[in-house]
Amino acid sequence: MMGKKSIISGSLSFIIHLFLFLLFGVFTLYNSNLGSNAQKNAIQIEFTVAPPPKQRKENLKEIENKKKEVKKINKEIKNEKKLSKIKSKNIIKKKKLINKKDKNEKKDIEQKEEKGGKLEKETQKLIKQKKQEEKPNKIQEIDKRAIYNTQVIKTKGGGAMLEMKGWTWDNIPKPNDSSDEVGKIVFKIIIDDFGEIINIKTLERTVSLKVEAIYREALEMITFSRTSNKDSKGNSIGKITFFIRYK
């Protein structure tokens, strides 16, 4: 009995020593590998020290200032963009105004040319009329029956023609015309039995109202005498034409 117990205890002791031996060998081998890779597997621990409160405030203030500068720069960029847009709009407006002005000037020139052409035509027409009117340079004789009575008077810068049956003028009308206008004025007159003008009416004129008034005033100063039908009574109607030429 005692022999069996000694065998079992010896076997257990052997197994325990073998296990310890193997465990020691594995531990030794593990330590040798860990030592070769110590640098690779080293754990680095860093410690950071917080700055003091004053420096932290300064850092925060510097960060805020930088933010403000960034905002300011962004604002300036936006303003520059707005200004560039406004400038481009102003340039477009100026171009439109210039084009409009050019069109208006062109239109004015065309209108002036058109008016000039019309004025030239009217001037040529007036010159032809004057030439035709200046042809009768002799006083037409009054026949004994006074059927037709036309009298032409030449004056400086023009002339006057009377068309009235049975009457002739006592004096020559002398209008004080110092203007540069040329043309003609036709008046219708009514005279009484004494040869005095009682009514004057303008039938035609190619001059201004101012010049017309000068010739009307000169006409009001003259009187007329009968050439026939002395016994006839009542008012008489006639026509006087003034031809105004260059002085």
Mean pLDDT computed over every residue of the chain: 76
User: Using an 8 Å Cβ cutoff, are 149 and 165 in contact?
Assistant: yes
User: Using an 8 Å Cβ cutoff, are 109 and 120 in contact?
Assistant: no
User: What amino acid occupies position 179?
Assistant: S
Q: Looking at the predicted structure, is the pLDDT value of residue 149 above 60? A: no
pLDDT band at 147 (very low <50, low <70, confident <90, very high): very low
User: Using an 8 Å Cβ cutoff, are 219 and 197 in contact?
Assistant: yes
Determine the Cα–Cα distance for residues 160 and 185; give it in Å rounded to an integer.
Answer: 9
Q: Looking at the predicted structure, is the pLDDT value of residue 123 above 50? A: yes
Q: Looking at the predicted structure, is the pLDDT value of residue 41 above 60? A: no
pLDDT band at 127 (very low <50, low <70, confident <90, very high): confident
Q: What percentage of residues in the chain have a pLDDT greater than 70?
A: 73
Q: Looking at the predicted structure, is the pLDDT value of residue 233 above 60? A: yes
pLDDT band at 68 (very low <50, low <70, confident <90, very high): confident
Rounded to whole angstroms, what are the CA distances from 27 to 17, 32, 119? Answer: 15, 9, 130
Q: Which is higher by pLDDT, 198 or 139?
A: 198
Q: Identify the weakest region by mean pLDDT among 57-66, 138-147, 182-191, 223-232.
A: 138-147
Q: Cβ–Cβ contacts within 10 Å for residue 179, how many?
A: 13
Q: Looking at the predicted structure, is the pLDDT value of residue 2 above 50? A: yes
| Cβ neighbours for 136, distance < 8 A, ≥ 6 positions apart | 152, 161
Q: What percentage of residues in the chain have a pLDDT greater than 90?
A: 22
pLDDT at position 148 is 35
Q: Which is higher by pLDDT, 32 or 170?
A: 170
pLDDT at position 241 is 94
DSSP SS3 for 182: coil
For the chain, the domains span: 58-135, 150-244
Classify 150-244 by CATH class.
Answer: alpha beta
pTM of the entire structure?
0.40
Q: Looking at the predicted structure, is the pLDDT value of residue 56 above 80? A: no
C-alpha of 53 from chain center: 68
Interval 75-119: pLDDT, tens: 889 888 888 888 888 888 888 888 877 788 778 777 777 776 777
Q: Looking at the predicted structure, is the pLDDT value of residue 221 above 60? A: yes
Determine the Cα–Cα distance for residues 222 and 197; give it in Å rounded to an integer.
Answer: 8
Q: Looking at the predicted structure, is the pLDDT value of residue 37 above 70? A: no
Q: Looking at the predicted structure, is the pLDDT value of residue 162 above 50? A: yes
Q: Looking at the predicted structure, is the pLDDT value of residue 197 above 60? A: yes
